[in-house]
Amino acid sequence: MKTILVIDDDDRIKTLCEKRLGKFGYNVIVADGESDILQILELNGIDLVLLDQIMPGKDGLEVMEMIKHGSHLPVIMMTAFGSIDLAITFMQSGGVDFVEKPIDFDILNIKIQKEILAAERLKKEILDRKHAERQLLQAQKMEALGRLAGGISHDFGNILSVIMGNAIMALEHLPSGHPAVVHLSQIDISGKHATTLIKQILAFNYQKNDQAQSIQIQPIIDEVFTYVKATLPSNVKINRNICASANKVLAIESKIHQVILNLCTNAIEAIENDYGTITMNCRVVSATDIDHAIISDITSKKYVELAIKDTGKGIDVATLEHIFEPYFTTKKQAGGTGWGLFIIHEIIRECGGAVNVESQPGKGSTFRVYIPCINQPRKRENQTCRYPKLEMENTFF
Ligand SMILES: Nc1ncnc2c1ncn2[C@@H]1O[C@H](COP(=O)(O)OP(=O)(O)OP(=O)(O)O)[C@@H](O)[C@H]1O
Ligand SMILES: [Mg+2]
């Protein structure tokens, strides 16, 4: 129910508005020029203000200035018959419309509906724009972080080679029972971990120039499904729903493979030692069905939606803020690099898509990946998978 604030010093007008607008289904709140208008606005969730032009306390224009200060609330002025000049001054000051007294309530109702609708649209546009700005900032931040990390990794790789090379040479000079052997071996092991991490970062940066091709997502899901199923711990089950659509996307097959595998790996890790299920879902959705908050820059009529749902431990709000940042991990002890989701985010962004997550602590998580389709569904094609057999060395975890 929409709420309308009627500001008028004449009690008869207020009562009339209450009755007539009430009949149209509005919740009507009344006030006069002496009332604390700002407090009324703050407490009552007002959708539109109906304002008298001339009042003994503050006059209409003064009240409107106060209302409009920092808000987009629509204000319709009630003018005395023949005060068109004043009405025009009012509209120039930010009012949206005016009605003449005696009020024709049928016309007023149409104006109210129109203005509330316009205000809602404006509010949504402002919210969408703010969201798009935030997304752009986040994307720029991610890109800068990625570039920085890539540069550092390159130099760091060289330094690491020297450290590890010297540790190995020192090991060769020592007899096997020497107490320093344990410490030097530890340098070697940790150096290898660091090398793996650097390889991931560098590979990610170098692969950026690979050519995208027109591909189907389902065969890649099938491939990952078969691999993950064969390697799952016994406490985790995996299900898959087949996508019947033949829509294709423009993407690099190995990268989409990496996306799905990274999401599955996270899902398995989130289930930890409990019993749990992972569900892989793929479908084609119309762009109009996707929330604008997820993809602000819609480029296709249809998108492939890939969802990986798990019944794991879920993610709290504070953690959710950071999960797509490189190096952000809650698995430091287990050797997590914090690169998995950042890579997913970047790969999907390069495809013109988006990644969305829905999660609550204790209630599992659903990661949804949207990739724009490049064609309309055609006759179903042979879906044999062209993807090469998965090799662990080529895979990011
Ligand atoms: N399905 C999930 N359920 C719960 N938390 C998740 C899930 N996926 C990601 N996270 C959280 O997001 C963080 C970042 O994930 P990301 O894949 O980027 O790195 P990681 O898994 O910690 O490390 P790596 O991928 O290198 O093993 C994780 O540490 C975890 O806290
Ligand atoms: Mg991960």
Ligand nearest to the CA of 318: 1
Q: Which helix (H) or strand (E) holds 353?
A: none
In angstroms, what is the span from residue 299 Cα to ligand 2's centroid?
29
pLDDT tens-digit profile, the chain (397 residues): 999 999 998 899 999 999 999 999 999 999 987 778 888 888 888 999 999 877 666 677 788 888 877 678 999 998 876 667 777 888 888 889 988 888 999 999 999 999 999 999 988 888 888 877 877 777 777 777 777 777 777 788 888 889 999 999 999 999 989 999 999 999 988 888 788 777 767 766 655 556 788 999 999 999 889 888 888 889 999 999 887 777 899 998 888 988 998 999 999 999 999 999 999 999 999 988 888 778 877 788 899 999 999 999 999 999 999 999 888 999 887 778 888 898 899 889 888 999 999 999 999 999 999 999 986 544 444 433 333 332 222 222 2
Atom of ligand 1 nearest to the CA of 364: 3
The number of C-alpha atoms within 13 Å of 343 and in the hemisphere containing its C-beta is 30
In angstroms, what is the span from residue 365 Cα to ligand 1's centroid?
11
Retrieve residue 226's tokens: 């078969």
Of all protein residues, the one whose alpha carbon is nearest to atom 9 of ligand 1 is 266
Candidate of 145, 341, 359, 368 to mutate for ligand 1, largest count of ligand atoms within 8 Å of Cβ: 341
Structure letter (DSSP) for residue 59: -
In angstroms, what is the span from residue 309 Cα to ligand 1's centroid?
14
Of all protein residues, the one whose alpha carbon is nearest to atom 31 of ligand 1 is 330
Q: How remote is the C-alpha of 369 from its chain's centroid?
A: 11
CATH 3.30.565.10 fits 210-394, yes or no: yes
Give per-residue burial for 81-106: e unless 16+ CB within 10 Å, then b: eebeebbeebeeebbbbbbbeebebe
User: What number does CATH give the domain 3-103?
Assistant: 3.40.50.2300
In angstroms, what is the span from residue 330 Cα to ligand 2's centroid?
10
Of all protein residues, the one whose alpha carbon is nearest to atom 28 of ligand 1 is 329
Instruction: Find out whether 277 and 238 touch, Cβ atoms under 8 Å.
Output: yes
What angle (nearest 5°) sits at the alpha carbon of residue 85, between those of residues 82 and 89? 135
307 Cβ neighbours under 8 A, 6+ residues apart: 279, 280, 281, 282, 366, 367, 368, 369
Ligand nearest to the CA of 201: 1
Ligand nearest to the CA of 196: 1
How many whole angstroms separate alpha carbon 253 and alpha carbon 303? 17
Retrieve residue 358's tokens: 């829905």
Ligand 1 is surrounded, with C-beta below 6 A, by: 266-267, 270, 310, 312-313, 315, 319, 323, 328-331, 336-342, 365, 397
Instruction: Find out whether 105 and 20 touch, Cβ atoms under 8 Å.
Output: yes
Retrieve residue 395's tokens: 């895979």
**pLDDT for residue 215:** 92
In angstroms, what is the span from residue 266 Cα to ligand 2's centroid?
5
The number of C-alpha atoms within 13 Å of 361 and in the hemisphere containing its C-beta is 5
Ligand nearest to the CA of 331: 1
Neighbours of ion ligand 2 (CB under 5 A): 266, 340
Choose among 278, 274, 254, 276: nearest CA to 264.
278
How many whole angstroms separate alpha carbon 69 and alpha carbon 77? 17
In angstroms, what is the span from residue 185 Cα to ligand 2's centroid?
27
In angstroms, what is the span from residue 81 Cα to ligand 2's centroid?
70
Retrieve residue 312's tokens: 């794991």
Of all protein residues, the one whose alpha carbon is nearest to atom 30 of ligand 1 is 330
Backbone φ and ψ of 383, nearest 5°: -100, 25
**pLDDT for residue 209:** 54
Instruction: Classify domain 134-208 at the CATH class level.
Output: mainly alpha
Of all protein residues, the one whose alpha carbon is nearest to atom 25 of ligand 1 is 340
Of all protein residues, the one whose alpha carbon is nearest to atom 1 of ligand 1 is 267
**pLDDT for residue 298:** 79
**pLDDT for residue 4:** 96
In angstroms, what is the span from residue 303 Cα to ligand 1's centroid?
25
Atom of ligand 1 nearest to the CA of 341: 18
Atom of ligand 1 nearest to the CA of 338: 19
Instruction: Find out whether 347 and 258 touch, Cβ atoms under 8 Å.
Output: yes
Q: Where in the chain is the domain with CATH 1.10.287.130?
A: 134-208
Q: Where in the chain is the domain with CATH 3.30.565.10?
A: 210-394
How many whole angstroms separate alpha carbon 3 and alpha carbon 1? 7
Helices 105-173, 11-23: crossing angle, 10 deg rounding: 70
201 Cβ neighbours under 8 A, 6+ residues apart: 149, 150, 153, 326, 339
**pLDDT for residue 369:** 96
Q: Where in the chain is the domain with CATH 3.40.50.2300?
A: 3-103
Ligand nearest to the CA of 333: 1
